[in-house]
Amino acid sequence: MQKKPVLEVEHLSFSIGKEHHLLRDISFSINQGDFIVLSGKNGAGKSILMRCLKGLLQPDAGSITIDGQDLTGRPKKRNRSIGLVFQDADTQLVGQTVERDILFGLENLNIPPKERTVRMQQVIRLLGLAPLLHQRPRTLSGGERRRLAIAGVLVMQPQVIMLDEPFANLDYPGIVQVLESLVELKKQGTTILVATHEIEKLLAYADSMLLLDAGRVVTQAPPQEVLEIVEEFGVRRPRFHGKPIPVGDLTWLK
């Protein structure tokens, strides 16, 4: 079956003032159900790009199409269509308990109670949050908190979910928890964009890799191809005893 593009970005630029061109002529597309790894060294523009896509920043030029609809001039609609899990997941947690926190967005959207319950049950199961429902978000571990942030985004059923450095500040079990959730989401057909330079943890699952440098797209291609050039752009190619590790082994699961 032919895959359908869900997000299409063409010639996107974003600058602050006249001199700071943070994104330049960015074009790429993501198909329904794809798992895309967005990489590039510090300052390459990964976070800015995600914020522009979500509608938190308004691009100067270019277009953003979601499900065939041009949403460039409609940041609110993009905000609904794209779920973003921030690097600092704590800023996203608002409820007194885990359960309240997940419900928060749904209540704001006036989703009917029955539908709320169904969606809640889905994300709670998916992210293994059942034992934590009555706990305060503040008392969760880093990995648990990131899973909660992912749940809060997923429950809104965005067309695309984006995660900015989902492994930052997590220990090994925390990383495994988040990674297992991502793999499960992928299995269910969710379209996922993950910004990270920690490619050794998850590249095995990527359908393609989007490499940024200095606010420009270097390439969007199968991971195997991009790995050949990543080191020119400040991203370490994972190696073992100096030899490149095969893409299929780039996972922290198993």
Ligand X SMILES: Nc1ncnc2c1ncn2[C@@H]1O[C@H](COP(=O)(O)OP(=O)(O)OP(=O)(O)O)[C@@H](O)[C@H]1O
Which residues lie near ligand X (CB under 6 A)?
16, 20, 22, 40, 42-48
CA distance 42 to 20: 16
Q: Give whichever of 47 and 63 is closer to Mg ion, judged by the CB atom.
A: 47
Among 47, 79, 97, 135, binds Mg ion (CB under 5 A): 47
Q: Give whichever of 22 and 36 is closer to ligand X, judged by the CB atom.
A: 22
Q: What is the distance, to the nearest Å, from the Cα of residue 214 to the centroid of all Cα atoms in its chain? A: 20
Which helix (H) or strand (E) segment is 190 a member of?
none
- Starting from the edge strand earliest in sequence, which strands make up the sheet with 35-39, in order? 82-85, 160-164, 191-195, 35-39, 208-213, 216-221
Least Å distance between CB 150 and ligand X?
18
45 contact, one of Mg ion, ligand X, none, CB 5-8 Å limit per kind: ligand X
Q: Which tokens sit at 226?
A: 């991009």
Q: What is the distance, to the nearest Å, from the Cα of residue 178 to the centroid of all Cα atoms in its chain? A: 12
Tell me how many residues contact Mg ion (CB under 5 A). 2
Query: Which of the stretches 29-37, 47-55, 137-145, 245-253 binds Mg ion when contact is defined by CB under 5 A?
Result: 47-55
Least Å distance between CB 98 and ligand X?
27
20 contact, one of ligand X, Mg ion, none, CB 5-8 Å limit per kind: ligand X
Residue 84's φ and ψ, nearest 5 degrees, are -125, 125
Least Å distance between CB 234 and ligand X?
10
Return the DSSP state at 158.
-
Least Å distance between CB 200 and ligand X?
16
40 contact, one of Mg ion, ligand X, none, CB 5-8 Å limit per kind: ligand X
Residue with tokens 């490619």: 199
Q: DSSP secondary structure string, 64-126?
A: EEETTEE-TT-HHHHHHHEEEE-SSGGGG---SSHHHHHHHHHHHTT--HHHHHHHHHHHHHH
Pairing of strands 208-213, 191-195: unpaired
Q: Give whichever of 157 and 196 is closer to ligand X, judged by the CB atom.
A: 196
16 contact, one of Mg ion, ligand X, none, CB 5-8 Å limit per kind: ligand X
Q: Give whichever of 49 and 247 is closer to ligand X, judged by the CB atom.
A: 49
- Residue 31 is a binding residue for Mg ion (CB under 5 A): no
Q: Give whichever of 52 and 126 is closer to ligand X, judged by the CB atom.
A: 52
Q: What share of the chain is helix, strand, coil (3-state, %, to 5)?
A: 40, 25, 35
Least Å distance between CB 38 and ligand X?
9
43 contact, one of Mg ion, ligand X, none, CB 5-8 Å limit per kind: ligand X
Count of CA atoms in the C-beta half-sphere (13 A) of 51:
13
Q: What is the distance, to the nearest Å, from the Cα of residue 123 to the centroid of all Cα atoms in its chain? A: 16
Give residues in contact with Mg ion (CB under 5 A). Answer: 46-47
